[in-house]
Amino acid sequence: MGGPMSVNDDLPWIDPLCDLIRAAVARDVPVLGHCLGGQLMSRALGGQVTKNPVPEIGWNVAMGGKDAIARHWLGDFADRELAVFQWHGETFSLPQGAALLVESAACAHQIFALGPHLGMQCHVEMLPEMIDCWCEQWQEEVAPHAHLAFVQTPDAMRAGIPEKLPELRRLADQLYGVWVQGLRG
């Protein structure tokens, strides 16, 4: 899942976690990563995590890919605009062999797939309670960036819940439904 730290921080658990991700991938055990998890997957699989050109906080528009791999993972969400939830200042590069499934104007790499493995920069797992909890941290973590184009206020994030969250939940169901199929192999 996510967290306020960076995979580039000198933390004692990052390298062992990257080793675990590489071991799972080598054994074809499906790996799923949200935000920090997607960044850890990228790093573990040879990608890099760098500062995103702009922070993304709140609801932002992304675009589903249209190739066969994107259609497999995204189903009806392929080749269309998606409202996704964001809370990040860094981004990942694609590991070698990964397919880009979703991109956005503010962050080129939103979701990638590598075989049965799924790495995400955006947060498709959101619930209203999670958004409320994160909004409580907004002043401490985000306020200095409030003037930037891809940063929303807590009021704007909460206002988007009724309209945007149901569609985000359907996207999550689609992605998780495909990912779970990899567990059966």
- Tens digit of each residue's pLDDT (9 = 90 or more) over 68-117: 999 999 999 999 999 999 999 999 999 999 999 999 999 999 999 999 99
Q: Is the pLDDT of residue 162 over 80?
A: yes
Q: What is the Cα–Cα distance from 59 to 157, expressed in whole angstroms?
A: 6
Inter-CA distances, 56 with 7, 19, 110, 116, 173, Å: 18, 29, 11, 27, 23
For residue 38, is pLDDT > 80? yes
Q: 142 or 155, which is more confident?
A: 155
pLDDT of residue 185: 59
Boundaries of every domain in the chain: 14-184
Residue with tokens 């993304």, as numbered in its chain: 56
Residue 44, both tokens: 């573990």
- Which pLDDT does position 140 carry in this prediction? 86
Measure the CA angle with vertex 173, ends 172 and 178; round to 5°. 100
Q: What is the DSSP code string of 122-144?
A: SB-S--HHHHHHHHHTHHHHTGG
Q: Which residues pair with 61 in a beta bridge?
A: 83
**Which of 63, 95, 85, 76 has the alpha carbon at shortest distance from 1?**
85
Looking at the chain, the whole-number percentage of residues with pLDDT higher than 70 is 98
Contact 104, 63 (CB under 8 A): yes
Question: pLDDT averaged over the chain?
Answer: 95
Residue 156: pLDDT band (50, 70, 90) is very high
Q: Does domain 14-184 have CATH number 3.40.50.880?
A: yes
CA dist 85 and 102 (Å) reads 13
Tokens, residue 156: 């704007």
Token pair recorded at residue 24 = 């799972």
